[in-house]
Amino acid sequence: MNQHDAPIRIVVITGLSGAGKTVALRALEDVGFFCIDNFPPQLLKNFINLSTSENNIKKVAISVDVREKSFVDGVEESINSLRKDYDAEVVFLEAERSVLLRRFKETRRPHPLAETSGGDIRDALKLEAEYLSDLRKLANRVIDTSSYTPHQLRSFIMEAFGGDQTPSMGINIISFGYKFGIPQEVDILFDIRFLPNPYFIAELRELNGLDQPVKKYVLDNPVTNKLLDKLKDLINFLVTEYLKEGRSSLTIGVGCTGGQHRSPVIAEELSQYLRSTFDLEIKVIHREL
């Protein structure tokens, strides 16, 4: 099979600093593109030929930044050469000058051409626009991100380049014991130590929350049922909103004193609810078992 027969898609993300190139590249990564950040355009075709032929990569996204004038010299020739053999698209991101100035002030990041321009951010933005003018002319899409939030830009890119692939979110549910510390990776934390503790029931003490007698003891409590109703309602709302935001992962922590009895029961109940409600990958980790 020659290069013309290979169904390889190339997206080159470029544009003005502060316009959202990093957000766009991460969005492409989330819909299955192999992504490289800040790559010299002169080396594009050699890199594409090597990476796609040896690694069976079908979708590649590369961001092209500007550090100095020589970095983008010859870019027109490089892009046109790439387009001869591949389905290559150039996406140029830009924004209003006032918006870019505000974004740099908010993030306090230095502009790539700050030293070249003598430290003046306005001069740096002007110089960058000049350096990238030829690349902008080659663009298949010019996107003005002035009115976009990062989440809106991410959603736009994922919708434009995701095809039939729907971005998903993985959910991890961790049961744990507070006496051993709170898991650092949790995004949402539920403390259920107010529920009656099976540890104080002699015949249940040596069992754990995966054993039927412990599960029955915990779930037979009317307070547990009220708790689960409220947790399910809250989690349904939160997961729905996180999916709209485009979040890729969520970790829910459920903690009791020792992590042996109550928290595994509740974690399993929440996982069953999530699996029946959402078409998502759900993993349950019982840290103390």
Select the more confidently predicted residue: 108 or 5. 108
Per-residue model confidence as pLDDT tens digits over 181-201: 998 889 999 999 999 999 999
**What pTM does this model have?**
0.59
Per-residue model confidence as pLDDT tens digits over 21-61: 999 999 898 888 888 887 776 777 777 777 666 667 788 89
Question: What Cα–Cα distance (Å) separates residue 257 from each residue in 64, 188, 225, 289?
Answer: 52, 18, 20, 13
Domain boundaries along the sequence of the chain: 3-161, 170-286
Q: Rg for the chain (alpha carbons), in Å?
A: 26
Highest mean pLDDT among 7-11, 41-45, 272-276 belongs to 272-276
> Taking 50 as the threshold, does the pLDDT of residue 2 lie above it?
no
> Taking 70 as the threshold, does the pLDDT of residue 82 lie above it?
yes
Per-residue model confidence as pLDDT tens digits over 111-122: 777 666 667 778
Per-residue model confidence as pLDDT tens digits over 169-181: 889 999 999 999 9
CB 172 within 8 A of CB 283: yes
Query: In angstroms, rounded to a whole number, what is the distance separating the alpha carbons of residues 246 and 168?
Result: 8
Q: Which residues pair with 63 in a beta bridge?
A: 13
> Taking 90 as the threshold, does the pLDDT of residue 81 lie above it?
no
Residues 94-98 have a mean pLDDT of: 89
User: Looking at domain 3-161, which CATH architecture does it have?
Assistant: 3-Layer(aba) Sandwich (3.40)
Mean pLDDT for the chain overall: 85
